[in-house]
């Protein structure tokens, strides 16, 4: 727990992918945070200036790939945003006295962790007097912060439905869309492995939300369906051949007493020219709260020019993590959850 007052919190940015690079810039520009270090994985980034790696002027801080260098800095917090979750690394950071805010989806719900992992993390937090918190835009903001605010008007919840809409038509990332997400592939290629991968973070987040509301879930299921294009369709990343996947919908459902209580429905599409009748909205979210005070709220992303897309969209995930640093540093030791912590409020000046 950080006990300093009115001093900038010392932060290390861990990794510089799309989200990490945006986070790095946000920390450098933050009025109440001080970047003291940068961890990178790529050898060609080691020794380079942190400012230059995120499009700013040099700031005199060189990137390292040594965890020993990070520990020697004795930061208040590490923003851990690497691909894949290394539990032993996290435990070393936590037991050294460094708090962690991460966008790793595995850590949204302590009860969803296997016993060995949870015990290791909690023991490290206890030893170091530190906290760890997992957040982001989705899962995170839209599956925890927003539903907790909307359900604060309820005294009975019958069903919560969250729809995410992502139009990927202008996303010029062939590897992401075609190889990883499965667009442009035969519908038969959309299998259980992809569903299981998507389920992990959202199941943990829905479980956390349900626990916060006092309505623990009995089970979380995942289903998926795809829609194909009837003719060749050209998008920024390439061409969707006729008969291949142009849209996909993955539904993660939290079950209670044999009935659906919560659903997160991911509507991702590369074109609206699909062989289905899905309602496909602009980029953003729709949250329906069915209860004794029903609500239907929509959050649409403001139009973003194609040339600004790469620089803007990572902020939806990175900024909430950066804004959470001060709250996590002040939290009691352990694995933090959105329902237990004070509200994350952006300090903009």
Residue pLDDT, tens place only, 31-68: 999 999 999 999 999 999 999 999 999 999 999 999 99
Quick one: pLDDT at residue 142?
98
Average pLDDT over residues 136-147: 98
Average per-residue pLDDT in the chain?
95
Q: Strands 238-240, 233-235: parallel, antiparallel or unpaired by DSSP?
A: antiparallel
Three-state SS for 67? Answer: helix
Does the pTM of the predicted model rise above 0.85? yes
Quick one: pLDDT at residue 66?
98
Q: Is the pLDDT of residue 1 over 80?
A: no
Quick one: pLDDT at residue 223?
97
Quick one: pLDDT at residue 305?
79
Three-state SS for 29? Answer: helix
Pick the CATH number of 141-303 from 3.30.360, 1.10.3470, 3.40.50, 2.60.40: 3.30.360
Q: Which residues face 264 on adjacent strands?
A: 162, 252
- For 197, 221, 229, the CA distances from 274, given in Å and listed in that order, are 25, 26, 5
Q: Is the pLDDT of residue 3 over 60?
A: no
Q: How many CA atoms lie within 13 A of 244 on its CB side?
A: 17
Res. 2 pLDDT band, cuts 50 70 90: very low
8-state DSSP, 315:
H
User: C-alpha 86: how far from its chain's center?
Assistant: 17
Q: Is the pLDDT of residue 4 over 50?
A: no
Query: Tokens 């020019």 — which residue?
Result: 305
Residue pLDDT, tens place only, 33-42: 999 999 999 9
As a whole number of angstroms, the distance between CA 182 and CA 247 comes to 10
Res. 5 pLDDT band, cuts 50 70 90: low
For the packed helices 115-128 and 87-95, what is the interaxial angle rounded to 10 degrees? 20
As a whole number of angstroms, the distance between CA 82 and CA 282 comes to 29
Q: Which two tokens stand for residue 213?
A: 């509301």
Residue pLDDT, tens place only, 266-310: 999 999 999 998 999 999 999 999 999 999 999 999 888 777 877
- Identify whether the C-beta of residue 218 lies closer than 8 Å to the C-beta of residue 280: no
Quick one: pLDDT at residue 26?
98
CATH architecture of 9-135+324-335: 3-Layer(aba) Sandwich (3.40)
Quick one: pLDDT at residue 302?
84
Q: What is the DSSP string of 230-263?
A: SS-EEETTEEE-TTSEEEEEEEEEEEETTEEEEE
Q: Is the pLDDT of residue 343 over 70?
A: yes
Quick one: pLDDT at residue 311?
81
Q: Is the pLDDT of residue 215 over 60?
A: yes
Nearest residue to 47 via CA among 38, 36, 35, 34: 38
Residue pLDDT, tens place only, 96-126: 999 999 999 999 999 999 999 999 999 999 9
Quick one: pLDDT at residue 332?
97
Average pLDDT over residues 193-212: 95
Three-state helix/strand/coil letters over 101-167: EECCHHHCCHHHCCHHHHHHHHHHHHHHCCEEEECCECCEHHHHHHHHHHHCCCCCEEEEEEEEEEE
Structural domain boundaries of the chain?
9-135+324-335, 141-303
């Amino acid at each position: 727990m950080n006990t300093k007052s009115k001093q900038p919190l010392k932060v290390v940015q861990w990794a510089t992918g799309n989200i990490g690079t945006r986070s790095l810039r946000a920390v450098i520009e933050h009025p109440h945070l001080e970047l003291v270090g940068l961890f990178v994985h790529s050898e060609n980034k080691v020794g380079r200036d942190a400012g230059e790696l995120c499009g700013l002027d040099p700031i005199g801080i060189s990137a390292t790939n040594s965890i020993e260098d990070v520990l020697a800095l004795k930061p208040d917090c590490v923003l851990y945003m690497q691909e894949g979750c290394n539990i032993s690394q996290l435990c070393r950071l936590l037991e050294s006295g460094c708090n962690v805010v991460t966008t790793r989806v595995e850590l949204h719900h302590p009860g969803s962790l296997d016993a060995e992992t949870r015990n290791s993390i909690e023991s490290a937090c206890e030893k170091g007097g530190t906290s760890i918190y997992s957040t982001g835009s989705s899962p995170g903001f839209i599956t925890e912060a927003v539903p907790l605010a909307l359900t604060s008007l309820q005294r009975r919840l019958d069903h919560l439905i969250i729809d995410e809409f992502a139009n990927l038509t202008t996303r010029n990332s062939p590897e992401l869309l075609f190889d990883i997400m499965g667009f442009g592939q035969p519908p038969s290629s959309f299998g259980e492995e992809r569903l299981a991968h998507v389920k992990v973070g959202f199941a943990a987040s829905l479980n956390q939300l349900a626990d916060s509301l006092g309505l623990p879930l009995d089970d979380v299921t995942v289903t998926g369906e795809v829609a194909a294009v009837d003719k060749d369709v050209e998008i920024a990343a390439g061409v969707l051949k006729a008969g291949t996947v142009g849209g996909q919908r993955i539904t993660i459902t939290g079950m209670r007493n044999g009935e659906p209580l919560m659903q997160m429905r991911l509507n991702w599409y590369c074109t609206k020219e699909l062989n289905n009748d899905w309602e496909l909205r602009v980029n953003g979210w729709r949250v329906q709260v069915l209860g004794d005070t029903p609500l239907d709220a929509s959050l649409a992303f403001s139009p973003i020019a194609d040339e600004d897309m790469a620089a803007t969209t990572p902020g939806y995930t990175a900024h909430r993590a950066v804004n959470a640093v001060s709250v996590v540093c002040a939290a009691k030791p352990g694995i933090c959850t959105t329902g237990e912590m004070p509200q994350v409020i952006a300090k903009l000046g």
